[in-house]
Amino acid sequence: MNSTEQTLSIIKPDAVERDLVEKIQKKFLEKKIKVLKSKKIQISKEEASDFYKVHQTKPFYDRLCSYLSSGPIVVMVLEGENVIQENRKIMGATDPKNADEGTIRKLYGISIDKNSVHGSDSIENAKKEIDFFFKD
């Protein structure tokens, strides 16, 4: 079943640093996904820890939070048909080594840590994550 959805996308520090913002946004536009909102910010480690709290028991949690707060990021609200799953497809697998050809992580990801993008993984998390960055 198709429906218009919104999801949260983040361009992580490694990709912002390498000037990949426009190239990544083009991948969305090519798939008829709208970039409804977009802002470049830098968050504190506390904010990153709050954002990624679902991972708080994981061995990589501390490194992940340090990394996300290490430099500017671009946070975006994307909108389109089934955009939550579509964005996950366009992103590719978490580890760029396992990502399909043509995906953002295959093209631009450096490592499992520096994998260039974040995308919400469910309707519930998309709502929470959009609110986290764009609550007025």
Element (DSSP H or E) covering residue 51: helix 45-51
Q: What are phi and psi of 4, to 5 degrees?
A: -75, 130
Catalytic member of 9, 73, 118, 120: 118
What residues are paired with 10 via a beta bridge? 75, 118
Q: How far is the CB of 115 from ligand UDP (least distance, A)?
A: 5
Task: Report d(CA 34, CA 87) in Å as an integer.
Answer: 11
Note if 55 is an active site residue.
no
Q: How far is the CB of 113 from ligand UDP (least distance, A)?
A: 4
Q: How far is the CB of 121 from Mg ion (least distance, A)?
A: 5
- Contacts with Mg ion in 77-116 (CB under 5 A)? none
Residues in contact with Mg ion by the rule CB under 5 A: 121
The residues annotated with a catalytic role in the active site are 118
